Structure 1
């Protein structure tokens, strides 16, 4: 499925595609050298927006939860990437404990866990599921709509000193988190002994901040842009952050309005520079948190003065009741891609440093300037292994493989930014 762009690919993005295709060998070598210096997260997904004049990431998830939405054709590629990741971390790995989110009633999410488990098993690992849910006191089978089922088991501390984490009869060498720790870090996950915890606890929303990620991404984008000779703005959204905001008590409102105005002005200047007729907008989102919660689109700073109670409630609390006090103010990137006349945005999935596939998030009731990660969305899979090799003979803007290759390049820039972000916030690295 190749969504059509409702605006012709033009101006800066056409130039970007031309330059990226021309520089493909240089780009791949650049990534190879960067990965010698930095370690990618075990896995990652990146939300992109393509406006026809700009292509940029707007969110990077270190606990991706949509493996079930990927095309079945991508499984061999995912298995190979998982093998490479495990080989690098623990070559003799035999047992892997996968820790999912607490909720056990979201069947879409559980199908993601089933797909992820399947990929890891085919990579040569014994995979068991250890849950943090208080509801599960003993091994419990959960039936899935497709006829499969999952065995959820309560986590346990093992050994005399109880320093290793596992299940009653299962001692893993690696532990993979598919839980973003929005509710905080459970004590049972702390101080595990001689086990690889992937990713580290500092990747969870208890400590992670989107503003740190996009600061790292801005650096990566500037460095990359010198390699291919482009304006970094083509692939990077402007952003700033505001701390100590309280939407209920209307604290920090003036600072937030000033931040919105600042980003709108910077964006408007770029639009004038490139002759773009669209109206700039910003997205205000919780600096910590996921699932598309705590997100608001703003076209004018004055809109923040007139928020009703419903909007204030929506912005005050995100997943697991995490209260919002810090927000990211990010340049809004239009999405002018459509699937069957519904607005769509690509989401790219990676394991280790490899693009393994992706899908379009599609929403029939949302506009090109709105958050698509909302109830009512659906997914159309992409098989990147069939489409991510560029067609160097095609004219820029005309070939689907070239668009997908471009997505893979920008997504890998976000992956590299995530590795920098994790290095800089790693408490063990600071201690060393």
Structure 2
């Protein structure tokens, strides 16, 4: 099923699509030069929102789950990208250790099975090593469709991490370290740990990412001769917030009000008849938790006890003290009348596929990464990698998906900048 793209027939998105298509050689060369200077994250997924007048990433995940939502047609691209990534890191690799979240949810485990399949076809023996204290021996869990995964207990020697009779060259985390970095992952020698530990939510901050993305979007906007706001969600940040004790809410209200004012001015500039809103999120990972939509700064004074409790903690029960206040981006995409947003999946520097996150109970200005969401593959007859020049904007699904892939890669490049800036082992030059 090809999703129906409900966007304005004319306006900035179609102009942006046209400009991107006309500039494809310039864009691809620009990315090529950037990747000569910067290292892409090992794998990335990016949530993109298409408002019809604006197209922007709203979240960038460096430990993406959901690989099971990629269709079989997308797997050859993923396998090729996995080969390219491994060749750069450890060309002689034969063993890959995949360290997952402590979850036995069958959908999450199906994601692990898909990753195993991709890396197996890329020429690696792949086994799953669990951080959970409950896994004391190899444990096989059956999945829908007759497949299964086997979780094994990790074994740590003085210098290396592995499994019984399994010594990997590369360790791939599919665990975002929301609860902090376990000691078993620290101080490894002659093993590649991907992504690096400082990519986990114990260290990482969304505000750092979107600061880097703003820099990338300004350079890209200059390259294409356009206003970078069309692809960039503005944001503010507040530290020292305590929702449970109502501390720091003044900072939140002031910054939300200032950002709403900026958005109103942009809407006026572009003749947009929509009510601006901002989204308040925990600055460290959420897993879809701790998210609040604000349409008027006064609403912050009237937060219910239940809302404050919901905002006070995120994944792994971590307390929220820092928040990002992000410009809300409407989603104008629908599948069977349900609100949808594209999620772009990348490995190394390549777009390998994606899907639509769909939520029938959510509005166009609400978070869709919530219980009740479903997933529809980005179905297309031709490859999303190959745009069709000369086709009218908005009429070609591959062209629209190519544009989503460009935005996804811009967010991935910003993640690369972000990881370089926060690398504790980077040399500091005076």
Shorter chain as denominator, the TM-score bin is over 0.9
How far apart, CA to CA, are the structure 2 residues paired with 1:10 and 1:325?
Answer: 42
Unpaired runs of 5+ residues, structure 1, are none
How far apart, CA to CA, are the structure 1 residues paired with 2:111 and 2:208?
Answer: 28
| Cα distance per residue 1:321-375 (max 9 Å; x no partner) | 0110000000000001000110000000000000000000000000100000000
How far apart, CA to CA, are the structure 1 residues paired with 2:37 and 2:428?
Answer: 20
Q: How far did residue 18 of structure 1 move? A: 1.4
How far apart, CA to CA, are the structure 2 residues paired with 1:10 and 1:314?
Answer: 40
Q: How far did residue 399 of structure 1 move? A: 1.4
Task: Give the secondary structure class of the aligned counterpart of 2:222.
Answer: helix
| Cα distance per residue 1:285-315 (max 9 Å; x no partner) | 0001132101010100111111111101110
Q: How far did residue 430 of structure 1 move? A: 4.1
1:419 paired residue number = 416
1:95 paired residue number = 95
Q: How far did residue 8 of structure 1 move? A: 1.3
How far apart, CA to CA, are the structure 1 residues paired with 2:14 and 2:6?
Answer: 15
1:58 paired residue number = 58
CA contact (8 A) 1:344 1:362 kept: yes
Task: Give the secondary structure class of the aligned counterpart of 1:4.
Answer: coil
Q: Does 1:216 align with 2:216?
A: no
Q: How far did residue 386 of structure 1 move? A: 1.9
1:138 paired residue number = 137
1:19 paired residue number = 19
CA contact (8 A) 1:70 1:383 kept: no
Which of 390, 412, 415 is the equivalent residue of 2:387? 390
Which of 281, 293, 311 is the equivalent residue of 1:315? 311
Q: How far did residue 383 of structure 1 move? A: 4.9
Q: How far did residue 424 of structure 1 move? A: 0.8
| Cα distance per residue 1:269-291 (max 9 Å; x no partner) | 01000000010000000001132
1:9-158 correspondence to structure 2 within 5 Å: 9-104=9-104, 106-158=105-157
How far apart, CA to CA, are the structure 1 residues paired with 2:17 and 2:261?
Answer: 27
How far apart, CA to CA, are the structure 2 residues paired with 1:9 and 1:265?
Answer: 28
Q: Does 1:357 align with 2:353?
A: yes
CA contact (8 A) 1:358 1:383 kept: no
Q: Taking structure 1 as the reference length, what is the TM-score of the superposition?
A: 0.97
How far apart, CA to CA, are the structure 1 residues paired with 2:131 and 2:384?
Answer: 39
Q: Taking structure 2 as the reference length, what is the TM-score of the superposition?
A: 0.98
How far apart, CA to CA, are the structure 1 residues paired with 2:359 and 2:161?
Answer: 41
Q: How far did residue 28 of structure 1 move? A: 0.3
RMSD: 1.2
| Cα distance per residue 1:199-256 (max 9 Å; x no partner) | 0000000000000000000000000111111100000000011000000111111110
How far apart, CA to CA, are the structure 2 residues paired with 1:212 and 1:431?
Answer: 18
1:268 paired residue number = 264
CA contact (8 A) 2:3 2:379 kept: no
2:160 paired residue number = 164
**Alpha carbons of structure 1 residues 182 and 54: separation in structure 2 relative to 1, 3 Å:** same
How far apart, CA to CA, are the structure 1 residues paired with 2:144 and 2:179?
Answer: 28
Q: How far did residue 166 of structure 1 move? A: 0.5
Unpaired runs of 5+ residues, structure 2, are none
1:333 paired residue number = 329
1:234-249 correspondence to structure 2 within 5 Å: 234-249=230-245
**Alpha carbons of structure 1 residues 69 and 318: separation in structure 2 relative to 1, 3 Å:** same
Task: Give the secondary structure class of the aligned counterpart of 1:429.
Answer: coil
How far apart, CA to CA, are the structure 2 residues paired with 1:39 and 1:115?
Answer: 24
Task: Give the secondary structure class of the aligned counterpart of 2:217.
Answer: helix
142-151 or 121-130, which moves further after superposition? 142-151
CA contact (8 A) 2:282 2:290 kept: yes
CA contact (8 A) 1:74 1:383 kept: no
Q: How far did residue 145 of structure 1 move? A: 2.0
Number of corresponding residues: 428
How far apart, CA to CA, are the structure 2 residues paired with 1:10 and 1:180?
Answer: 40
1:171-186 correspondence to structure 2 within 5 Å: 171-186=167-182
Q: How far did residue 431 of structure 1 move? A: 6.7
2:398 paired residue number = 401
Q: How far did residue 113 of structure 1 move? A: 0.3
Q: Does 1:292 align with 2:288?
A: yes
**Alpha carbons of structure 1 residues 350 and 202: separation in structure 2 relative to 1, 3 Å:** same
CA contact (8 A) 2:2 2:379 kept: no
How far apart, CA to CA, are the structure 1 residues paired with 2:378 and 2:14?
Answer: 22
Task: Give the secondary structure class of the aligned counterpart of 1:310.
Answer: helix
Show structure 1 runs of 4+ deviating over 6 A. none
| Cα distance per residue 1:110-133 (max 9 Å; x no partner) | 000000111011000010100001
CA contact (8 A) 2:335 2:358 kept: yes
